[in-house]
Amino acid sequence: MTDTKLLLCTDMDRTIIPNGFDPEPTDARKHFSAFCGRNDVTLAYVTGRHVSLVKQAIKNYALPVPDFAITDVGTKIYQIARGKWQQMAEWEQEIDQDWHGKTHADLKQLLKPITELRLQESSKQNTHKLSFYVPLYLDKNSIVARVEAYLKDADIDASLLWSIDEPQNIGLLDVLPKNATKLHAVEFLQKKLNYKLNEVVFAGDSGNDLPVLTSQVPSVLVNNASAEIKRAALELSKHHKNDNALYIANDGLGPNSGNYSAGVLQGVSHFLPSFINNTKDESAP
């Protein structure tokens, strides 16, 4: 990979936010913030959170303010400059085509007969994201298949993303426009900002990160991810012949050194060996 510039796209919860069960290395976020403050690093958060919850997390966890925020599991993109968060209308216009004129309300009504689905809070919904809770004791595959059948019959092109909220022990199912995944949002941002593929690194930890983790985008799976996600990421990346683009962080540098933001920086170092230690100010003459 070239060492000229980096677009670092990272999930938040349990990737750089230490709200999982595993311990966080000492000063991990401090080092992460310093790295992201470099002139040759463009930071984008890629998260399932609503924008208000992104801002809250930045404050509560002393995280660096990003240059971009891909929120609501890829359905919204914000550009941040001089304290202002500007929504990118061209992204919404692009993904809106997938639902063929149907709205969030239309999809909610359409899926109402699937009584096992419990609608998530309004703060976790938006115009292009319909989100449900699903108890983990239920047959996930059967429910997903029924949702897919309803959507297909209604001529709706959708992506269904399954993940697990481990602290709450509940399944999460997101219904999105087909092209509103985290992967497509990262690719959209990469092309819009004119970054080469080898100038991008993604980091994540959960099921809704798998489309990016197993793609051709250089990606880091933090060590505190579950064993199930690690297995799935390895299997899917090999299936797609993208296993060289996946790095799973580890504790090779010391206890917990692959967890959270420390694991993210470990992954950046893997893909760009000299980039981490390059402290040159690109703006300097």
The per-residue pLDDT for 3 is 52
The answer to whether residue 83 sits within a structural domain is yes
The answer to whether residue 282 sits within a structural domain is no
86 and 105 assigned to the same domain: no
Helix, strand, coil percentages in the chain from 3-state DSSP, rounded to 5? 35, 20, 40
Under DSSP, the state recorded for 154 is T
Helix axes 182-192, 89-96, angle to 10 degrees: 130
203 and 79 assigned to the same domain: yes
The answer to whether residue 229 sits within a structural domain is yes
CA distances from 51 to 74, 191, 195 (A): 12, 23, 24
The per-residue pLDDT for 4 is 80
CA distances from 60 to 20, 57, 170 (A): 15, 5, 24
209 and 260 assigned to the same domain: yes
CB contact at 8 A, 77 and 179: no
The answer to whether residue 283 sits within a structural domain is no
- CA-based torsion, 203, 66, 161, 225: positive or negative: positive
Number of CB atoms found within 10 A of residue 197's CB: 14
* Domain housing 14: 6-92+180-271
The per-residue pLDDT for 238 is 97
199 and 260 assigned to the same domain: yes
How confident is residue 198, by pLDDT bands cut at 50, 70 and 90? very high
Q: What is the mean pLDDT of residues 212-231?
A: 97
- Residue 31 pLDDT > 50: yes
The per-residue pLDDT for 285 is 30
Domain boundary, last residue among 144, 177, 210: 177
The pLDDT tens digits for 80-129 are 999 999 999 999 999 999 999 999 999 999 999 999 999 999 988 999 99
138-173 burial, b at 16+ Cβ within 10 Å, e below that, comes to: eebeebeeebeebbeeeebebbebbbbeeeeeebbb
Which residues lie across from 222 on neighbouring strands? none
185 and 262 assigned to the same domain: yes
The per-residue pLDDT for 48 is 86
Rounded Cα distance between 46 and 147, Å, is 25
125 and 42 assigned to the same domain: no
What is the percentage of the chain residues whose pLDDT exceeds 70?
A: 96
Mean pLDDT (the chain) is 93
The per-residue pLDDT for 52 is 93
The answer to whether residue 277 sits within a structural domain is no
Q: Of 72 and 116, which is predicted with more confidence?
A: 116
The answer to whether residue 280 sits within a structural domain is no
The per-residue pLDDT for 253 is 86
How confident is residue 274, by pLDDT bands cut at 50, 70 and 90? confident
120 and 248 assigned to the same domain: no
How confident is residue 161, by pLDDT bands cut at 50, 70 and 90? confident
Q: Which of 217, 253, 248 is nearest to 233 (CA)?
A: 248
How confident is residue 281, by pLDDT bands cut at 50, 70 and 90? very low
The per-residue pLDDT for 187 is 96
19 and 138 assigned to the same domain: no
Rounded Cα distance between 133 and 199, Å, is 36
Coil, helix or strand for 87?
Answer: strand
Domain boundary, last residue among 177, 204, 235: 177
Which region, left, alpha or beta, applies to residue 14 given φ > 0 means left and ψ of -120 to 50 means alpha?
left
The per-residue pLDDT for 160 is 94
Q: What is the mean pLDDT of residues 240-256?
A: 95
Rounded Cα distance between 212 and 46, Å, is 11
100 and 114 assigned to the same domain: yes
List the CATH number of the domain containing 145.
3.90.1070.10
**Total number of domains constituting the chain:** 2
The per-residue pLDDT for 240 is 97
List the CATH number of the domain containing 234.
3.40.50.1000
The per-residue pLDDT for 279 is 47
192 and 223 assigned to the same domain: yes
The answer to whether residue 158 sits within a structural domain is yes
The answer to whether residue 185 sits within a structural domain is yes
The per-residue pLDDT for 7 is 98
